[in-house]
Structure 1
Amino acid sequence: MQGPLPSEYLVVVPRRAPPGMRFVLSGSSALFLAVAPWSQAAAVEPLLASAGCAAYILIGGVGGAEAEARPAPPAGPPVYVGRADDAGRRLLRHEVEPPFPGIHTIVVVLGRDAGVLGRDLSEAVEGLLSQRIAGLRRYQVRNRYQIPPLRSSQLTDLRRWLSDLRDLFSAAGLPLLHPQRNGNRRTRRRACREQRGANGHPKVQASGSPETAAARDQSVAGTERAVRTGYRTDIPAGFGTSGNARVYDLSDRELVARAVVEGDWVVIEAGALARRSEVRWNQTCLTAKRRRLVTEGLLRPLRRRPHLLKLRAPIAVSSLVNAARLLRGDNADDRVWQRVR
C-alpha cells in the first residue's frame, strides 16, 4: 500500500493554465510533472514552448472493442510513452494523429531547468517509464523503448529519478508506477521483485543495444519475429508509418544506412551502403547472406566506389545487430545505430 507523500510534493495550478492543468513539483527533485486533460492539448502547447527536452505519457480509458480483444491478463487502460525535444509541438502532432482512440490525460515529465533533461536523459526516462509501466501489468503500454547507453553519473540520476517519479505520479493521482492492488499477494510481490534489484534498490540497466528494444517490442505485428534467419523483401504495406515506428541511422565513414523498427519487423531501407570486403572473423552465416544478396542483385557495387555496395531495395532482417553486421561485414558493436526518431 502506498504511504503518505512527503510534504515537499506540491500541486500547483499555473497562471493562465487551461482548465484541469496542474504542475506537480518536489523541492528535492530536479524533475516535475505537467498534467492536463487531453482536450486541452492545444492550450498546453504555449506553456511548454521553452521547456526543452521532455518525456511524456498519454493515458487512455478502459474498455472498447480493442481492449476487450486482448487476452489475459485483463486489459487495463492504454498508455503511450514518448519523448520530444519540444513536447508542446509533439502533443499538437498527436492531437492530429492520436496513437490510439480515447486518450484522456497528458503527463509531461520535465526538468526544472532546461538543461536537466537533454536528449540522452529524456530518451532514458522514456525507456525507463515504458519498461516499468509495462512490467507492472497495470496498463497496456503501446510502445516500449530501450534505455540508451549512459555514463555512470547519468545512471545515478536515473535511479534517483525513478523514486522521484513514483511519488510525483502519486501526487498527481496517477498510479503509473505502483502495482495493482487487486490480485493475490504473491502476484504483487513478483511484480515488485521484477522492478527492483537484489539489494532492494530500483533496478536500472542501460543495455546499450537497440536490438534489445527491437526484440521486446511486439506492438504492431504479433508475437513472432518477422525474420528469424536470412532476409525478406515482402515488406508489409504501410510499414513504418505508425507512431510506433522507430528510425535508426548508421553513419560510419563512407557507410550510410537507415533502418526502421516497427513491432517485430526490422527493415533496412533502400540506398544503404555496405562494405564490399569482409573481415576474416565475420560470421559464416552473414557472409553467405551478403553473397546471396549480391547474387540476387539486391546489393550492387557502386560504379565510382567499387569497394562499396548499395542496397537496391528494402529488406527485412532479424535484428538491428544483424543489420549492422550485414552492412559492415564484421561483428559490429550494437551501438553503431543511433536513434533519430
Structure 2
Amino acid sequence: MAKKKVLITGGAGFLGSHLCDRFINEGFDVVAMDNLLTGSLDNIEHLMGLKNFEYYHYDVTKFVHIPGDLHYILHFASPASPIDYLKMPIQTLKVGSLGTHNLLGLALSKNARILVASTSEVYGDPLVHPQTEEYWGNVNPVGPRGVYDEAKRFLESITMAYHTYHNVETRIVRIFNTYGPRMRLDDGRVLPAFIGQALRGEDLTVFGDGSQTRSFCYVDDLVEGIYRLLMSDHPYPVNIGNPDEITIQQFAEEIIKLTGTNQKVIYKPLPTDDPKQRKPDTTKAREILGWAPKFSRAEGLKPTYEFFKQKIKG
C-alpha cells in the first residue's frame, strides 16, 4: 500500500517541526513548507537526509502546488508570538487569510483532509472562564493584538465555509499556551522570556501585577491531541491545552526555583489587550478524542530548561 503524504506548513517552526517528527514516526511521507520568517532549519536538520521527508522554502500566501497525491494538510504557518506579530502585522494577516485560502484550495483539489491551527487568541481577553469552544470571545479588532486574533478568527471562518460549501474535510484546533524544546528564546512569550532572563542572570520581568493567569501545555501532549483530532471525524473547533492554571507571579517563582538562580521579579505595565485569564475547557477533547495531557509542568519544564541551557551556552 502506498504511503500517505502530509503537507505541514510552518514545518520548520516550533510546533511544525515536532509535527514533522510525529508524522515521520507514524510512517508518512512528510513535506514541510516554511519561508523561515520565524522558523529555523535547525529544527528539522535531523530529518533532512530521510527519503520520506522533503522541505520547501516557500511562502504559502502565494499559490501552493504539491505534485502527486496528497492526503493530509496541517496549516501551522504563522508568526505566533506577540513580538513577531507586532513586528510583522501584514504578514500575520496574510498567512491567516491568503495562506489559509490557498491551502483550503489545495485540499479541495487534492481531496485531502486539512487541519488548521487556530489558538486561544480567538477568545481575546475572555469574559468567560474557563474558555469553552462555544464562547465567541472578546476581541478588539483594531488593537495591536487584533492582527493575530482576527487572522485566526478569519482562518476558522473560511475553513468552515470550505467545509459547508465545498464539503472539504476540515479540522480546527484551538491551541493554548504550549512549550517545550525548539521554542525560540527571543520570541517574547512568557516561558522562554523567564528562563532566558534567569539563565542570563537578569531579573524576571512580569507585566502587570502578576495576577493574570496562563495554562501551559507540554508540546508532546499538544502533538498527540492534534494527531487525534486530525484522525477524528469532528469538523468543529476543539481546545487543546493543559487546564492546570497558574498566575504569572507564581510561574516566575517556579522558574527561579527551577533554574536555581536568585533573581528578583520586576514589574512593568501590562500591554494593551493582554488577556487576564487563560484556561481551556478540555471537555470536548476528552470526550471526542479520548485526550488529556499527561505531562505535568514540572515534567515538561525539565527538558525545556535543558534545551534553553544548551542554547545559551551555544
With the length of structure 2 as denominator, give the TM-score of the two structures.
0.31
Instruction: Compare the two structures and name the one with the higher helix fraction.
Output: 2
With the length of structure 1 as denominator, give the TM-score of the two structures.
0.29
More relative contact order in 1 or in 2 (CA 8 Å, sep 6+)?
2
Instruction: Decide which structure has the larger Cα Rg and report it.
Output: 1
Instruction: Compare the two structures and name the one with the higher strand fraction.
Output: 1
